[in-house]
A and B are shown apart, each in its own frame.
Chain A
């Protein structure tokens, strides 16, 4: 007997796409609203219409105002300096640490790894006060360094990389030792490149987290010139544009854009990096 495909079979992918679309709409709505508000005129801002084309295109004015009133580019530069500074030091510290935890036998390795896992459970906020006091003691408040210091050591990165490095074949490491590689060369030239998906996934996590971080910069920085994007926005709302939502949203759009672009570029590696552990 021939089997005919059920008439509902074609509906299943359709249905799942529908669910995904609704989910995506929920997540994208605030962004859509932000962009929409940034090009609407003040009179239209409070209308509830979702129609993407405003009656009167007010984008030039809003964006001009945003760039004119606060140093948006300065905020972004601050964000780049802080995020890259954090990321570079994080990788310089976490990659060798993870390599040692994954592949080098030494006394206390298990204890050290247990400490790493334990440290994953300590929220940043617990350390805020002692860190603040330490930085104040050394007169380091209101510096880029103060914004970066607490994040130089990422136990999450150590943990993630250690798990990835663990699966690197021991025989290749041994062959490298026979060939005359130093341990640091093995770590940076063989093991780390093989973990590139995990490293780029972590880089995205790190960049997003610190680009969007408001909490810590707000504690250690009061100088507008040093403010990273979210803190800059905060100064913006407080000071000049309290009720100018169009300009505010224009600023927000500008400050979010780099992350969206970066994510679109690194999307494939990012997804590969976080799903990798499940596949192998």
Chain B
């Protein structure tokens, strides 16, 4: 099976001492929806622009649908791109904006000249097929009534649709999207997320979607490539990234509220201890180093079981989120707030007040162990029925 997009060893630097991309490898299946996600400056937009051909990589190869395109011009790559600012042509109507990619690819340079172009043979037939294609796409995106307007007369959401229509009209095998939702208000953004997913399913093309918003990436993607400082930290399905982060920084990036991190030590026998308490049932083969233990907010409980790691803590703040609560608790003797997610049902009949003492606990099975290089460490888990430490 050919890949929808294949990247091999892409390097790019604008200043020699500060590379933007370092050896990016990525294989995306045909028809897959892949998000490139990371904080600003991680190189995700540069990577997208290299895929589009708007930027040349210093080294490495790009192949689209099994066809090497590394040195091809953007227009020869058979791709479409949706920009953050939509990048509609301001002086053209919506219809002209959507028709432009087809006019450019189907009409010869001379036939595009103003006035003179009207004399080109066959121009009228080509124009009428283009007009039909434009109307078809406009119907799909429900923007037919807008075809006669100029971009300045449209709302943000309408411009977004026009930009999508312009991308769809040439039926590319690869869609590139550079933060297309970031200029919309929160409600519309959630709505457009659903529409983009539908669109992807309907068109069946490969989508590469750049975003800094992990929620967008998690909700829409088949797979996510999480980038940091010009490298891909992890490439996997949303649930892989969430439940088995390959790197501490992946764990911290994915999930809201973000994951809790505790310093941990590993002794010569491979036993892990956290804040001076042994983590029962967790052993690793990589011994003697400092490490971090990370626990998702929903994995922290307010009641301890025998095998748990248990802290005494003070409740500092309660956030109501409707069906659930986020608690911020400060463990004794530590200047750190632990985020705990509890459902409203779990708290019923158990009123909490800020300043109150809590027992917080998690089990080794729910904890992720990361070495001093931030990489995930292999651990063996076994049931240790003996309670080693209490709060």
Q: Footprint of B on A, CB under 8 Å?
A: 169, 171-172, 174-182, 185, 190, 193-194
| B201, CB-defined interface residue at 8 Å | no
A178 touches B79 (CB 8 A): yes
B90 touches A174 (CB 8 A): no
Q: Which of B49, B84, B101 has the most CB of A within 10 A?
A: B101
A174 touches B101 (CB 8 A): no
A12 to chain B, nearest CB (A): 36
| B275, CB-defined interface residue at 8 Å | no
Question: Considering the chains assembled together, what is the distance between the CA atoms of A178 and B104 in angstroms?
Answer: 10
A174 touches B54 (CB 8 A): yes
A194 to chain B, nearest CB (A): 7
Question: Considering the chains assembled together, what is the distance between the CA atoms of A193 and B90 in angstroms?
Answer: 10
Beyond A177-B74, A178-B80, is A171–B112 a contact (Cβ under 8 Å)?
no
Contact with A along B74-109 (1 / 0, CB 8 A): 110001110111011111000000001100110001
**What residues on B are CB-neighbors of A176 within 8 Å?**
89
Beyond A180-B75, A185-B112, is A175–B105 a contact (Cβ under 8 Å)?
no
A171 to chain B, nearest CB (A): 4
| B300, CB-defined interface residue at 8 Å | no
B81 touches A175 (CB 8 A): yes
B237 to chain A, nearest CB (A): 30
Closest-by-CB residue of B relative to A168 is B90
B contact residues, total (Cβ < 8 Å)? 25
| B279, CB-defined interface residue at 8 Å | no
Q: Footprint of A on B, CB under 8 Å?
A: 49, 52-54, 73-75, 79-81, 83-85, 87-91, 100-101, 104-105, 109, 112, 166
**What residues on B are CB-neighbors of A177 within 8 Å?**
54, 73-75
**What residues on B are CB-neighbors of A185 within 8 Å?**
112
Closest-by-CB residue of B relative to A181 is B104
B87 touches A172 (CB 8 A): yes
B74 touches A182 (CB 8 A): no
Question: Considering the chains assembled together, what is the distance between the CA atoms of A182 and B166 in angstroms?
Answer: 18
**What residues on B are CB-neighbors of A178 within 8 Å?**
52-54, 74-75, 79-81, 101
A190 touches B112 (CB 8 A): no
B78 to chain A, nearest CB (A): 10
